[in-house]
């Protein structure tokens, strides 16, 4: 199995999703992507995460980032879960799940992206099988993995941080800069060490 690293080409795959079958690289096209995994449908923490992404989808669209979720249940189950996500999300803001969720019942894609972590004892189900952990992959339009985040099942993700990372990555694509600790869009940046004093 290929070990994924920052800079690796994101493995291509075909999958069924809530928006129909996709070929991943073809689906990416010229966009950035946030691929994020979930231990299972109807899990309460994940439900809050998917609702939050629905609320902040314009933040991703304006950055040319496509969103795609993945969970180890089938498409029918995902559609039923979406009803739940909408109900929970509507408690804070109008909610529409306008991004696909991949069905991975055989866990083939989860294995391809090393999203299963049975070493973490908080991450196994009642039968000892590992859940898909909460991963985030930020992939650029060249299909290269630019960021990988792994969260334990017990901790919900911070999507402000994901947006911050995307802003920093996209800025460093445009200019030879790096972003300091706790940087936010608009803050000062650090020039890349490869730049000469004159540059
Ligand atoms: C969740 O709520 O996301 C969750 C619940 C149990 C196990 C893993 C995740």
Per-residue pLDDT of the chain (199 residues; tens, 9 = 90+): 678 999 999 999 999 999 999 999 999 999 999 999 998 899 999 999 999 999 999 999 999 999 999 998 999 999 999 999 999 999 999 999 999 999 998 889 999 999 987 777 777 777 777 777 899 999 999 999 999 999 988 899 999 999 999 999 999 999 999 999 999 999 999 998 888 888 8
Beta carbons within 10 angstroms of residue 100's beta carbon: 21
Angle at 54 between CA 82 and CA 21, to 5 degrees: 55
pLDDT at residue number 1:
64
Q: How far is the CA of 38 from the centre of ligand 1 (A)?
A: 8
User: Which residue, among 17, 101, 12, has the nearest Cα to 53 in the 3D structure?
Assistant: 101
Nearest Cα residue to atom 6 of ligand 1:
43
State pTM to two decimals. Answer: 0.93
Give the separation between CA 63 and CA 166, rounded to whole angstroms: 8
Q: Is the dihedral of CA 166, 98, 110, 124 positive or negative?
A: positive
Atom of ligand 1 nearest to the CA of 38: 3
Pocket test for ligand 1, best of 36, 37, 38, 39 (most atoms within 8 A of CB): 39
CA of 65 to the centre of ligand 1 (A): 26
Strand bridging mode 101-103 / 134-139: unpaired
- Residues whose beta carbon lies within 6 Å of some atom of ligand 1: 39, 43-46, 131, 153
């Amino acid at each position: 199995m290929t070990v994924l690293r920052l800079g690796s080409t994101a493995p291509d795959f075909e999958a069924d999703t809530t928006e129909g079958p996709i070929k991943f690289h073809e689906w990416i096209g010229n966009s950035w992507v946030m691929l994020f995994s979930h231990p299972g449908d109807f899990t309460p923490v994940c439900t809050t995460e998917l609702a939050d992404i629905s609320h902040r989808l314009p933040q991703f669209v304006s950055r040319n980032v496509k969103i795609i979720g993945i969970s180890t249940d089938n498409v029918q189950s995902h559609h039923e879960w979406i009803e739940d996500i909408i109900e929970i999300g509507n408690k804070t803001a109008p909610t529409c799940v306008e991004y696909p969720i991949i069905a991975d019942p055989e866990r083939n894609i989860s294995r391809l992206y090393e999203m299963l972590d049975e070493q973490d004892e908080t991450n196994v189900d009642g039968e000892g099988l590992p859940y898909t952990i909460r991963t985030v992959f930020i992939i650029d339009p060249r299909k290269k993995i630019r960021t990988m985040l792994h969260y334990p099942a017990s901790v919900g993700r911070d999507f402000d941080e994901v947006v911050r990372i995307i802003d920093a990555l996209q800025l460093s694509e445009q200019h030879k800069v790096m972003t300091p600790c706790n940087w936010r869009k608009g803050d000062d940046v650090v020039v890349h060490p490869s730049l000469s004093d004159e540059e």
